């Protein structure tokens, strides 16, 4: 573990695995969509939109060209960073103590990276500023998906069915629902003849499934007050991360520009900074529908 406190080394593999297990538990995107490791220079996924049905060919029969539109989608990683001040006892503690500190740091950072993945992938925002990221651009569900349903608080289940119908229309099969607390509570409150229609959503609970849909509820879904939910065939979305997470140990100065906290050395502190490389891509925007607060301007 001695090399862990050297500038520019990586977090231990065990801690990285634990960290991204927690990301998968905290992120709506990670719960609903498949992931694969990605290199630092990114990967390119090829999507095929096949134009015709398969052909049955008899013996000695002529084969035909089915036709396809092939679209490359590049999934490149974005750098997320998180840092925290800790006592400089970290530098001189036992290996067990340093591992405990790193694991605690990783637990906190993983929650921030999970929120960051959602906020970037759903909305294209920089999680820290809460505004559109020029680095991400339109590489998000908000930026790529054009299907939408306007939310009606009295019929949230009908909104979901309407979104599924849009996905069915392109030959995809909706398999996931990401919803914010507002829509979750609307489902919990929905009654017919005084009987709760979706009691599994009551008292803040979120079921694992709703009909044929896997369900994830997270406050990140509603960031920006644009959408209450996203319904989709989440095989049309990919995300992944680079397995190496550099960790930097800073012993001097004020690396977080915190005027109140002051100089590290003057307060017997060090600064731990980790950088995670997480990327995503919308492979098939037509496989998704957004349940929006209001219709887009001009529609």
Q: What's the rounded Cα separation, in Å, for the pair 22 and 26? A: 6
> Which pTM value belongs to this model?
0.84
Residue 200 backbone phi and psi in degrees, to 5: -65, -15
Contact between residue 274 and residue 18 where contact means Cβ atoms under 8 Å apart = no
Checking phi first, is residue 168 left (phi over 0); if not, alpha (psi -120 to 50) or beta?
alpha
pLDDT of residue 285: 94
Two structure tokens written together for 32? 């609903």
Contact between residue 28 and residue 177 where contact means Cβ atoms under 8 Å apart = no
Mind listing the pLDDT tens digit of every residue in the chain (299 residues)? 333 344 457 788 888 888 888 898 899 999 999 887 676 666 766 555 555 567 676 666 665 565 555 567 778 889 999 888 888 888 888 888 888 888 888 888 899 999 999 999 999 999 999 999 999 999 999 999 999 999 999 999 999 999 999 999 999 999 999 999 999 999 999 999 999 999 999 999 999 999 999 999 999 999 999 999 999 999 999 998 888 888 888 888 888 777 777 788 888 888 888 888 999 999 999 999 999 999 988 77
Q: What's the rounded Cα separation, in Å, for the pair 291 and 147? A: 9
Two structure tokens written together for 272? 């731990």
Two structure tokens written together for 135? 């680095």
Closest by Cα among 128, 126, 131 to 83:
128
Q: What's the rounded Cα separation, in Å, for the pair 185 and 202? A: 7
pLDDT of residue 232: 97
Q: What's the rounded Cα separation, in Å, for the pair 97 and 157? A: 50
Contact between residue 82 and residue 273 where contact means Cβ atoms under 8 Å apart = yes
Non-local (6+) Cβ contacts of 128 within 8 A are none
Contact between residue 227 and residue 253 where contact means Cβ atoms under 8 Å apart = no
pLDDT of residue 6: 45
Check residue 52 and report its DSSP letter: S
Per CATH, the number for 2-49+72-292 is 3.90.1690
Contact between residue 275 and residue 79 where contact means Cβ atoms under 8 Å apart = yes
């Amino acid at each position: 573990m001695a090399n862990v406190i050297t500038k520019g080394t990586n977090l231990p593999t065990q801690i990285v695995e634990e960290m991204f297990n927690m990301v998968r538990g905290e992120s709506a995107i990670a719960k609903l969509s498949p992931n694969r490791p990605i290199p630092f220079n990114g990967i390119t996924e090829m999507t095929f939109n096949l134009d015709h049905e398969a052909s049955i060919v008899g013996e000695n029969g002529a084969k035909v060209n089915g036709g396809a539109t092939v679209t490359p989608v590049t999934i490149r990683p974005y750098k997320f960073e998180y840092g925290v001040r800790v006592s400089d006892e970290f530098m001189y503690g036992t290996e067990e103590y340093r591992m405990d500190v790193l694991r605690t740091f990783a637990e906190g950072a993983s929650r921030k990276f999970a929120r960051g993945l959602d906020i970037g992938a759903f909305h294209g925002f920089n999680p820290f500023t809460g505004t559109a990221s020029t680095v991400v651009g339109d590489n998000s569900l908000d930026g790529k998906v054009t299907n939408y349903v306007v939310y009606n608080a009295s019929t949230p289940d009908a909104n979901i069915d309407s979104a599924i119908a849009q996905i069915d229309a392109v030959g995809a099969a909706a398999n996931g629902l990401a919803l914010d607390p507002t829509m979750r509570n609307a489902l919990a409150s929905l009654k017919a003849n005084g009987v709760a229609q979706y009691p599994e959503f009551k008292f803040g609970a979120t079921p694992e499934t709703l009909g044929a849909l896997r369900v994830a509820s997270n406050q990140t879904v509603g960031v920006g007050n644009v959408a209450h939910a996203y319904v989709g065939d989440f095989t049309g979305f990919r995300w992944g991360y680079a397995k190496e997470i550099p960790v930097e140990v800073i012993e001097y100065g004020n690396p977080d520009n915190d005027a109140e906290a002051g100089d590290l050395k003057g307060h017997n502190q060090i600064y731990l900074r980790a950088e995670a490389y997480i990327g995503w891509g919308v492979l098939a925007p037509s496989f998704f529908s957004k349940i929006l607060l209001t219709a887009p301007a001009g529609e």
